[in-house]
């Protein structure tokens, strides 16, 4: 398992031994992975030569001279010959042809017994051309073959084993035939390293050239019976699995009870065999399923993971699903690698998608919550989402108890960036619990309200959103919520949270006692009234305490919002801040110039006064309370008009406060109804719309039931898009391998079927060129695989036909494609891997170079068309709420402003086209975009597979009086990286100039 939690890839992955000016050590040659038979990268694609070694040639040095290399190889000492051989290997791997050095190496280097030279020669014989221009084996290779035979009989076990591993790569039966007796003898060598490589060599030779060793399955089966070393048994069993499955089954049946004592490498092959056998013959399931159950308790995490996945595909019984899910949970809890945790979590989530499996997983919710012990935020987020989807009324109370303990833990740790985000996740999860199961709200609300005093504003804001929804839906809990909210009100540290708390208290304080308690709390958090007089008294008292010899501070002329002049002394603005006296929270906000909370305070007091007058009959109490509310409002208004605050009050806030005073003085029935009734109705409508939107989203996620009718069409794999479920009717190993090699189309929502593949084909040369080439681009998250089809359209044999590629942008060519020989009218496929480092448009360019057989002219070159790597292959739609969008918009430093230049006439049509062409998601609700007003503004959001965020704000318009005028406006793109912002802007510019005829819905 490998990667960043995005996908699964097979464990038997080939990792080339990369050399940076040096040759790999002995160990790297011994343990070079990926050359086991059965590994998908060992297959030979017709004329394509497999490449096993990647050597980096420094570009800042002069290339070695062939004559000098020849002299060093002939007359130099051992050290000189080693260096010359290294340079020769580097040149040949880089595409140079050095035919004059072959006999020199055979005569002067091959007889040497130095181990370093032996290792280098194995690499040299791997990459050196072994055939003439007409495709026949060179005569000199007969001498090399004799050297191979001597190495296979060498007393040093490392040389024997390395030579056997090297023989796995040979594709010339003429070289292998004389070596077969020596290879058979190696099966009886005393050292396990030689024996296991002998098995690999026999397997490869049997698969490629069966006529050389037709009795290989019988030979290996007898070898397996008497072998004790686990690695040798694994290789032998692997060969029988692919070459003679009946013999492999017979061996497994004979030692079925001993499987748990085998090594993990052998257990993995046994799991694969059991799956393949049971998939081909379902009647064998009862015979081997007990073995899979036993392997769930293996000491190897990889074996447990594979056994659990196999068990799910072999049986849908509740006990099997529960055992597999428990195994997955144990793996997540015990494994330290976050990538492993994310991959196994994805398997659990996929398990939940099956309705029958979901009921089994519901009993394991408390076990799943054990994963919260992981410190990684992404793991915790997926765990909470999974637990929230599985929780039921049977275990909701236990889950809430665990979440409350997790909340308490976040208070006792050192504040970290992820701590606040985790706290926010817990708040949202508890919020969802209360809405889904109202019975637990009474126990959750007191815990959450404590978060209002949290320094993390996002967590506190989420609590207020929850409290607002709870107090509207649960009437029985309103007194409890009001009481707790009043207790926490003085400790709130954020102006946004205070403002929202004021609105809730003003809207839902419905008894005279609660209304009076809210008024008392407001008075306490404002301080002494009137505010201006109190501030001036404090300022005057502090000036009296200062040194009397202080000179008069200068007076500054200021222009107020109504255009008049006002005088401001430095004492008025600096004395309090200089002394650092702590003010009550609401007064502190006002003194800092935030009078939006002042207008909210005025609205709250107006609601409280109007409601108090309806509840209390005594006119004196009514007048006293109304007068107190008007005093507070007028005091805030007076403070805003003074020069004491650091910022002047805006006219909007002043008008709002004056309106509240007017409402309290007139007490009109219509205005009273708006303040007391209509505000709450607006909240109810908003919450209902939000619930409806969430229900629609949830319904869209649900998969329809798997109902099969008698007249349903038959699904052919070649014509399907590989979107089926992982069930018993599909080969999971082949499907996962296809996804790993072809690309993560399932995650990106791409079509992997044949119709989708055709749209990814890029023509590289013209039809009249001597060599025709086209490429199919597999985008596989962090890798791009170019599958290039090369067709020889001439009547000549093309020698050393080489695909030479280079990249532009944040792309890197992983390995150089090997030369091929093309017969007349022949074709072949060449694959090239390109590494992707970031979300940025890239270009792959190059040419095809070849020699014509029998021609004495220079090499021929065909220049290829450029392959443009589209940024859309890495971008997927994503969601975030408004506060997260605003926060990211403020943080991201790269902005790209794109002007709208299109021939579209409809605003909504342009938005739909933009969404479909950029893979972004529109965050603005559909209702806010409905209707025609000649103007549209929308926010869009997407995320790349590298974790980069991209934000976009669309602002477009169309004049009503010009129906034929196109849409105008601009799009502002913001991203954390410059490449993301520029590439997305280029994509928008390119698509809006040539709009598609049909566009997808937003």
The answer to whether residue 784 scores a pLDDT higher than 70 is yes
Reported as a single tens digit per residue, the pLDDT across 494-513 is 888 888 888 888 888 888 88
- Cα separation of 765 and 358, whole Å? 52
Which region holds residue 555: left if phi is over 0, alpha if psi is between -120 and 50, else beta?
Answer: beta
The answer to whether residue 369 scores a pLDDT higher than 70 is yes
pLDDT of amino acid 700: 62
The answer to whether residue 947 scores a pLDDT higher than 50 is yes
Token output for 575 = 């004395």
The answer to whether residue 840 scores a pLDDT higher than 80 is no
- Does residue 161 contact residue 197 with C-beta atoms inside 8 Å? yes
The pLDDT confidence band at residue 702, using thresholds 50, 70 and 90, is low
The answer to whether residue 486 scores a pLDDT higher than 70 is yes
The answer to whether residue 698 scores a pLDDT higher than 60 is yes
DSSP secondary structure of 693-714? HHHHHHHHHSPPP----TTPPP
Cα-Cα-Cα-Cα dihedral sign, residues 55, 56, 57, 61: negative
The answer to whether residue 45 scores a pLDDT higher than 50 is no
Phi, psi of 139 (to 5 degrees): -65, -30
The pLDDT confidence band at residue 16, using thresholds 50, 70 and 90, is very low
By C-alpha distance, which of 350, 405, 398, 348 is closest to 372? 405
Q: Which residues pair with 568 in a beta bridge?
A: 556
- Cα separation of 35 and 96, whole Å? 26
- Cα separation of 1001 and 916, whole Å? 7
The answer to whether residue 207 scores a pLDDT higher than 80 is yes
Q: Which residues pair with 213 in a beta bridge?
A: none
- Cα separation of 151 and 162, whole Å? 9
The answer to whether residue 632 scores a pLDDT higher than 60 is yes
pLDDT of amino acid 704: 52
pLDDT of amino acid 998: 41
Q: What is the dihedral of CA 386, 387, 392, 395, to 10 degrees?
A: 160
- Does residue 506 contact residue 518 with C-beta atoms inside 8 Å? yes
Average pLDDT, the chain: 77
pLDDT of amino acid 960: 74
The answer to whether residue 846 scores a pLDDT higher than 70 is yes
Residue 527 in 3-state DSSP? coil
Average pLDDT over residues 648-667: 89
Sorted by sequence, the CB contacts under 8 Å of residue 171 that are 6+ apart come out as: 44, 49, 208
Q: Which residues pair with 4 in a beta bridge?
A: none
Reported as a single tens digit per residue, the pLDDT across 76-105 is 888 888 888 888 888 887 767 777 888 888
- Does residue 2 contact residue 783 with C-beta atoms inside 8 Å? no
The answer to whether residue 358 scores a pLDDT higher than 60 is yes
Residue 856 in 3-state DSSP? coil
Q: pLDDT: is 231 or 132 the higher one?
A: 231
Reported as a single tens digit per residue, the pLDDT across 572-625 is 444 344 444 578 888 888 888 888 988 889 899 998 888 888 888 888 988 999
**Residue with structure tokens 């207008």?**
599
Angle at the Cα of 542 from the Cα atoms of 538 and 547, rounded to 5 degrees: 165
Sorted by sequence, the CB contacts under 8 Å of residue 128 that are 6+ apart come out as: 92, 102
Q: Which residues pair with 557 in a beta bridge?
A: 567
Which region holds residue 941: left if phi is over 0, alpha if psi is between -120 and 50, else beta?
Answer: beta
- Does residue 472 contact residue 687 with C-beta atoms inside 8 Å? yes
The answer to whether residue 396 scores a pLDDT higher than 50 is yes
Q: pLDDT: is 453 or 27 the higher one?
A: 453
Return the percentage of the chain with pLDDT > 90, whole number: 3
- Give the DSSP H or E segment for 544: helix 531-545
pLDDT of amino acid 450: 78
The pLDDT confidence band at residue 456, using thresholds 50, 70 and 90, is low
Burial of residue 656 (number of CB atoms within 10 Å: 0-12, 13-18, 19+): buried
Token output for 510 = 């419905």
- Does residue 117 contact residue 23 with C-beta atoms inside 8 Å? no
Neighbour count for residue 700 (Cβ, 10 Å): 7
Average pLDDT over residues 222-238: 86
Average pLDDT over residues 692-714: 65
For 675-694, b/e burial (b = at least 16 CB within 10 A) is: bbeeeeeebeeeeeeeeeee
For 760-769, b/e burial (b = at least 16 CB within 10 A) is: bebebbeeeb
- Does residue 595 contact residue 635 with C-beta atoms inside 8 Å? no
Q: pLDDT: is 97 or 224 the higher one?
A: 224
> Parallel, antiparallel, or unpaired: how do β-strands 17-20 and 53-56 relate?
parallel
Average pLDDT over residues 713-727: 51
The pLDDT confidence band at residue 48, using thresholds 50, 70 and 90, is very low
- Does residue 339 contact residue 4 with C-beta atoms inside 8 Å? yes
- Out of 27-41, 56-70, 445-459, 745-759, least confident range: 27-41
By C-alpha distance, which of 299, 302, 321, 304 is closest to 312? 321
- Give the DSSP H or E segment for 482: helix 478-488
Instruction: Name the DSSP letter for residue 137.
Output: B
Q: pLDDT: is 866 or 12 the higher one?
A: 866
- Cα separation of 741 and 373, whole Å? 34
- Does residue 657 contact residue 626 with C-beta atoms inside 8 Å? no
pLDDT of amino acid 96: 74
The pLDDT confidence band at residue 952, using thresholds 50, 70 and 90, is very high
The pLDDT confidence band at residue 967, using thresholds 50, 70 and 90, is confident
Residue 44 in 3-state DSSP? coil
The pLDDT confidence band at residue 751, using thresholds 50, 70 and 90, is very low
Average pLDDT over residues 919-924: 87
Residue 969 in 3-state DSSP? strand
The pLDDT confidence band at residue 276, using thresholds 50, 70 and 90, is confident
**Residue with structure tokens 């017969």?**
823
Reported as a single tens digit per residue, the pLDDT across 241-258 is 888 888 888 888 888 788
- Out of 32-46, 112-126, 629-643, least confident range: 32-46
For 770-809, b/e burial (b = at least 16 CB within 10 A) is: bbbbbbbbbbbbbbbbbbbebbbebebbbbbbbbbbebeb
- Cα separation of 108 and 106, whole Å? 6
Average pLDDT over residues 363-377: 88
pLDDT of amino acid 30: 31
């Amino acid at each position: 398992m490998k990667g960043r939690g995005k996908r699964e890839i097979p464990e038997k992955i080939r990792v080339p031994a990369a050399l940076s000016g040096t040759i790999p050590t002995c160990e790297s040659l011994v343990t070079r992975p990926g050359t086991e038979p059965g590994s998908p990268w060992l297959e030979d694609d017709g004329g394509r030569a497999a490449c096993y070694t990647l050597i980096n040639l420094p570009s800042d040095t002069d290339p070695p001279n062939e004559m000098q290399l020849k002299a060093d190889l002939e007359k130099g000492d051992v050290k000189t010959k080693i260096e010359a051989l290294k340079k020769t290997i580097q040149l040949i791997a880089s595409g140079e042809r050095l035919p004059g050095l072959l006999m020199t190496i055979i005569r002067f280097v091959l007889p040497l017994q130095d181990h370093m030279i032996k290792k280098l020669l194995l690499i040299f014989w791997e990459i050196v051309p072994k055939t003439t221009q007409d495709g026949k084996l060179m005569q000199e290779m007969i001498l090399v073959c004799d050297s191979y035979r001597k190495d296979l009989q060498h007393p040093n076990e490392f040389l024997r084993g390395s030579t056997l591993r090297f023989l796995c790569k040979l594709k010339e039966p003429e070289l292998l035939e004389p070596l077969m007796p020596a290879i058979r003898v190696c099966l009886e060598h005393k050292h396990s390293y030689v024996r296991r490589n002998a098995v690999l060599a026999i397997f490869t030779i049997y698969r490629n050239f069966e006529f050389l060793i037709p009795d290989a399955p019988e030979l290996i089966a007898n070898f397996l019976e008497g072998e004790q070393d686990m690695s040798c048994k694994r290789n032998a069993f692997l060969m029988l699995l692919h070459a003679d499955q009946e013999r492999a089954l017979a061996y497994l049946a004979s030692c079925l009870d001993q499987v748990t004592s085998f090594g993990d490498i052998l257990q993995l092959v046994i799991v694969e065999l059991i799956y393949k056998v049971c998939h081909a013959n379902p009647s064998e399931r009862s015979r081997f399923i007990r073995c899979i159950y036993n392997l769930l308790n293996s000491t190897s995490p990889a074996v447990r993971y594979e056994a659990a996945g196999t068990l799910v595909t072999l049986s849908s019984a509740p006990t099997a699903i529960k055992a597999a899910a428990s195994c997955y949970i144990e793996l997540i809890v015990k494994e330290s690698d976050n990538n492993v945790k994310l991959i196994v979590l994805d398997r659990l989530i996929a398990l939940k998608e099956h309705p029958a499996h979901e009921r089994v997983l519901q009993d394991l919710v408390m076990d799943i919550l054990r994963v919260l012990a992981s410190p990684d935020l992404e793991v915790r987020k997926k765990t909470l989402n999974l637990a929230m989807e599985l929780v039921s009324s049977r275990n909701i109370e236990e889950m809430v108890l665990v979440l409350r303990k997790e909340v308490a833990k976040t208070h006792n740790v050192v504040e970290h960036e992820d701590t606040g985000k985790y706290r926010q996740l817990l708040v949202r999860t508890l919020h969802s619990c209360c809405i889904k199961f109202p019975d637990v709200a009474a126990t959750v609300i007191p815990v959450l309200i404590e978060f209002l005093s949290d320094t993390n504003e996002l967590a506190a804001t989420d609590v207020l959103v929850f409290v607002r929804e709870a107090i509207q839906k649960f009437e029985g809990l309103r007194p409890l919520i009001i009481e707790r909210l009043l207790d926490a009100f003085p400790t709130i540290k954020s102006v946004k949270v205070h403002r929202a708390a004021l609105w809730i208290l003003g809207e839902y304080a419905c008894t005279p006692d609660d209304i009076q308690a809210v008024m008392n709390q407001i008075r306490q958090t404002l301080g002494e009234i009137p505010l201006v007089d109190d501030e001036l008294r404090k300022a005057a008292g502090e000036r009296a305490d200062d040194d009397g010899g202080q000179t008069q501070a200068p007076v500054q002329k200021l222009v107020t919002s109504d255009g008049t002049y006002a005088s401001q002394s430095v004492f008025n603005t600096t004395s309090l801040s200089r002394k650092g006296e702590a003010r009550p929270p609401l007064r502190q906000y006002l003194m800092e110039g935030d009078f939006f909370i002042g207008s909210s305070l005025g609205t709250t007091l107006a609601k409280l006064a109007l409601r108090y007058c309806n509840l209390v009959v005594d006119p004196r109490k009514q007048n006293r309370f109304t007068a107190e509310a008007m005093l507070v409002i007028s005091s805030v208004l007076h403070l805003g008009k003074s020069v004491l605050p650091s910022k002047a009050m805006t006219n909007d806030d002043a008008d709002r406060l004056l309106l509240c005073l007017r409402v309290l003085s007139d007490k009109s029935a219509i205005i009273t109804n708006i303040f007391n009734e209509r505000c709450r109705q607006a909240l109810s409508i908003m919450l209902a719309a939000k619930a409806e939107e969430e229900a629609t989203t949830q319904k869209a996620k649900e998969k329809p039931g798997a109902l099969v009718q008698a007249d349903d069409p038959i699904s052919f794999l070649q014509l399907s898009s590989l979107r089926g479920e992982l069930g018993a009717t599909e080969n999971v190993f082949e499907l996962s391998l296809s996804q790993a090699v072809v690309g993560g189309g399932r995650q990106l929502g791409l079509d992997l079927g044949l119709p989708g593949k055709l749209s990814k084909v890029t023509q590289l040369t013209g039809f009249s060129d001597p060599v025709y080439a086209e490429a199919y681009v597999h985008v596989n998250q962090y890798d791009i695989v170019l599958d290039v089809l090369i067709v020889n359209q001439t009547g000549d044999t093309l020698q050393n036909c080489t695909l030479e590629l280079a990249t532009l942008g944040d792309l890197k060519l992983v390995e150089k494609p090997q030369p091929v020989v093309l017969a007349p009218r022949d074709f072949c496929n060449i694959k090239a891997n390109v590494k992707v480092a970031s979300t940025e448009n890239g270009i792959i360019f190059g040419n095809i170079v070849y020699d014509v057989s029998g021609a004495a002219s220079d090499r021929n070159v065909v220049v290829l068309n450029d392959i443009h790597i589209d940024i859309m292959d890495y971008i997927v739609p994503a969601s975030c709420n408004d506060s997260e969008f605003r926060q990211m918009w403020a943080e991201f430093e790269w902005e790209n402003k794109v002007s709208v230049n299109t021939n579209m006439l409809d605003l909504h049509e342009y938005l739909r086209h933009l969404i479909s062409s950029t893979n972004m998601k529109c965050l603005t609700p559909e209702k806010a975009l409905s209707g025609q007003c000649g103007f549209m503004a929308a926010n869009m959001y997407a995320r790349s597979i590298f974790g980069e965020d991209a934000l976009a704000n669309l602002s477009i318009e169309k004049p009503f009086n010009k129906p034929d005028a196109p849409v105008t406006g601009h799009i502002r793109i913001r991203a954390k990286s410059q490449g993301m912002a520029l590439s997305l802007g280029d994509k928008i510019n390119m698509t809006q100039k040539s709009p598609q005829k049909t566009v997808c819905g937003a």
